[in-house]
Structure 1
Amino acid sequence: MTAKLAEKEGFAALVLRLRAEGISDIDLLTAVEQTPRSLFVPPQFAENAYSSRTIPIECGAFLEGVDFAVRLLHHLKVRPGQRVLEIGTGSGFTAAVIGRIAERVLTVDRYKTLTLSAQRRMEALSLRSVIVRQADGSNGMQGEGTFDRIVVTAAFNSMPRFYADQLVSGGSMIAPLMTSENECRMVRLTKTGSRFEREELFDAPYLPIVPRLASQL
């Protein structure tokens, strides 16, 4: 089977699984289809690119199963013209998908190795709407203005309100919160004026956020 055919079949199987969950957003699924998942997976895991399994990547990080990634983006509800902040670039897959919908995406990670790899992938896909930066996002990204959507892929013990301050009115953020020593759930916070509406979504595989830039990797 050629790589192109494997991508096509993997995506088709993904769409069937997502539809069973009630996820059928055409704009989102088109963005996923236009973002070859195998480009973001280590070569030895290429056959698992469209599986629901978690895949290890560089710097001790991991790539969520594709079902989880799309479910997360479904709940993020990104729309054309929006500005999006992602804390935790990882492989860059979610930022790349968002970048096909939103006007601008700023994605940051504490690991230089991951940001350089993600930047190369964005260039290969000609995704100029995605800005990849090595930065410590544990306290938000002050000085970058406000965002319509914020997504965080490392867990907190309580909802980080300093991120919420960087949302526009009507904006929302999704972040994982630790519910026990080894478990966490994705939570959505929507800002209306000076008030916030909180909604619990689903269990997540993320680990606690680590502050500061990585000194070596």
Structure 2
Amino acid sequence: MKSAMLEKEGFAALVLRLRSEGISDLDLLTAVEQTPRSQFVPATLTDEAYSSRTVPIDCGSFMEGADLAVRLLSKLQVKPGHRVLEIGTGSGFSAAVIGRIAERVLSVDRYRTLTADAQARMDELGLRNVIVRQADGSNGMPGEGTFDRIFVTAAFPAMPRFYADQLTHGGSMVAPLVMEGMDTCLMVRLTKTGSRFEREDLFTVPYLPLVPQMAAAL
């Protein structure tokens, strides 16, 4: 009972902070409410589940603070019926939230431990439309068809080109780019319109550079 109450209070505080930032998408907030963050953080850090601070997880990775996680998902603008590719599963929280809105989610990560734990969480939550795989996502997931949304949480050194063939017309990709000479990255949204792509610079994020061709060794 106590944990359920803490979950409810944590979510309520998060909603207040998000609304102060202008984030009030009911579908997104409902999906977040239905996805208990305490199930995605280490057991010793459940008190931090809804905080704005990053939370360390296995394999030297981290979870974004709750505010940033939802802020990023609001920029992704997932809708019912969408097929979504996520590169960088981490704890699986973002994939789970997306899975409550989208038709299908394919999430990949280079760490076997993270993908196995994330898939177990999807199974426990009954999210059968979310598939988690260990894979090198540096070139997207060729051979999996096209996606309406692509969400990346590892920074590219330059504008990624693989999305050209993996996005549907009107689809968009939200991904970080390494900012030269800085320790942070810039999150950008790329939207496909015909043969052209429109770029929108969003805000800085603390992600690490993407390391290609590592999945097979981990």
TM over 0.5: yes
Q: Number of paired residues?
A: 217
Query: Tell me, which stretches of 5 or more residues in structure 2 are unaligned?
Result: none
Contact kept in structure 1, 2:31 and 2:98, CA below 8 Å: yes
- Report the equivalent of 1:184: 185
- Report the equivalent of 1:54: 54
Deviation of residue 134 (structure 1)? Answer: 0.6
Deviation of residue 165 (structure 1)? Answer: 2.3
Separation of aligned partners in 1, 2:43 and 2:166: 37
- Report the equivalent of 2:119: 119
Contact kept in structure 2, 1:7 and 1:38, CA below 8 Å: yes
**What percentage of residue pairs aligned between the two structures are identical?**
74
TM-score normalized by structure 1?
0.98
Q: Is 1:83 the counterpart of 2:55 in the alignment?
A: no
Contact kept in structure 2, 1:164 and 1:173, CA below 8 Å: no
2:202 aligned counterpart, secondary structure: strand
Within 5 Å, give how 1:1-217 maps onto structure 2. 2-181=2-181, 182-214=183-215, 217=218
Query: Tell me, which stretches of 5 or more residues in structure 1 are unaligned?
Result: none
TM-score normalized by structure 2?
0.97
| 4+ residue segments displaced more than 3 Å | 213-217
Aligned partner of 1:53: which letter? R
Aligned residues: CA RMSD: 1.1
Deviation of residue 161 (structure 1)? Answer: 1.5
Deviation of residue 215 (structure 1)? Answer: 5.4
Separation of aligned partners in 2, 1:108 and 1:40: 16
Deviation of residue 213 (structure 1)? Answer: 3.5
Separation of aligned partners in 1, 2:119 and 2:102: 17
Deviation of residue 140 (structure 1)? Answer: 1.4
Contact kept in structure 1, 2:103 and 2:129, CA below 8 Å: yes
Separation of aligned partners in 1, 2:2 and 2:214: 39
